[in-house]
Amino acid sequence: MSKPRAAAPIPPGEAMPQERQQWILQRLRSHGRVVAVELATEFEVSEDSIRRDLRELAAQGLCKRVYGGALPLPVASSPLRQRRVEHTGRKQALARKAATLVRQGQVLLIDAGSTNAAIAAALPERCGLTVVTNAPDVALALLDREGFEIQLIGGRVDPRIGGAVGAQAVKELQRIRADLCFPGACALDVEGGLWGFDSEESLLKRTMVEASGETVVVVTSDKLGTVATHRVAGLAEVQHLVVEHDVDKATRNAYAAHGVAVHRADVAGD
């Protein structure tokens, strides 16, 4: 995965507000967050000026204001049929690492999503695993393999999400007690935790977390350090985080400092 090109240097104290804002946007894309006091020092302007820049960027829908700075907004999910063919090697590398967290005889809750479908395909056979899922493609990935009991959660299937959502699905999940859950990750941030775009989908993810002994978040690098519309779970409710091989040590340490076990995938095949 290619890294964003670094922003062109701007002489301190000489940048116009529009130039500062463009630079801030580039910093958000490359670093995942900005801190107001650091920007004020770097540009030799007041923190009030930086806060005004951040307010204007947030008003344009280009970032999300948080205490002390700002976060980038993630790109809304594309339809599942498109996500299935995007970054397959990266998702398979994540899936292989995620599968190492599974133990014999466990009950797993697996959410819809292309990465989670890859996790289902990577699960070991003949381990007496029970997989509960709201996603037909996750169930199909396991149907012809040995040693799996599959329970499909019912309800209204959203074709964009690729799984059942709504009151019926939530009610069925509330009757389940699982060892591990793999909620699909739309966005993940150190301060806010796990986020989703759709209200019904986010409620289902939340119910999965509540029904499980441990939560494993498996996330591609573009979703790290971002937030979305609906908060699913705080970071304290996430026990494991599986990230791509190229995620830097500082980012990994930031999540580990909150008590999350961070697992780094092997180098992807694409």
All domains of the chain in start order, with CATH: 17-71 (1.10.10.10), 80-264 (3.40.50.1360)
Whether the pLDDT of residue 241 is over 70: the answer is yes
**Mean pLDDT along residues 72-94:** 68
Residue 175, classified by CB atoms within 10 Å of its CB into exposed (0-12), middle (13-18) or buried (19+), is exposed
- pLDDT of 34 reads 84
Measure Cα distances from 93 to 114, 218, 266 in Å: 13, 11, 6
Give strand ranges (E) for 112-239. Answer: 129-133, 148-152, 156-158, 163-165, 178-182, 187-189, 193-196, 212-218, 230-233
Q: Which range in 37-46, 63-72, 124-133 is most confidently predicted, on average pLDDT?
A: 124-133
C-alpha 8/C-alpha 238 separation (Å) is 37
Whether the pLDDT of residue 193 is over 70: the answer is yes
Least confident of 81-90, 167-176, 195-204, 249-258: 81-90
- pLDDT of 257 reads 95
Tokens of 106: 């466990």
C-alpha 129/C-alpha 113 separation (Å) is 20
* Closest alpha carbon to 266 in 247, 244, 250, 251: 244
Whether the pLDDT of residue 212 is over 90: the answer is yes
Q: To 5 degrees, how large is the angle CA 13–CA 17–CA 18? A: 130
C-alpha 162/C-alpha 138 separation (Å) is 10
* Banded pLDDT at 3 (limits 50, 70, 90): very low
**Mean pLDDT along residues 20-29:** 83
Whether the pLDDT of residue 131 is over 90: the answer is yes
**Mean pLDDT along residues 185-205:** 92
Return phi, psi of residue 187, to 5°.
-160, 150
193-196 vs 230-233, strand pairing mode = antiparallel
* Banded pLDDT at 1 (limits 50, 70, 90): very low
What tens digit of pLDDT does each residue of 36-56 get? 898 989 888 999 999 899 988
Tokens of 36: 């107001």
Higher pLDDT, 221 or 207: 207
C-alpha 153/C-alpha 165 separation (Å) is 9
Residue 180, classified by CB atoms within 10 Å of its CB into exposed (0-12), middle (13-18) or buried (19+), is buried
- pLDDT of 6 reads 44
Outline where the chain has alpha helix (H).
17-31, 36-43, 47-59, 80-83, 88-99, 114-122, 136-143, 167-173, 199-210, 249-256
Whether the pLDDT of residue 146 is over 60: the answer is yes
C-alpha 29/C-alpha 22 separation (Å) is 11
What value does the mean pLDDT of the chain take?
87
- pLDDT of 109 reads 98
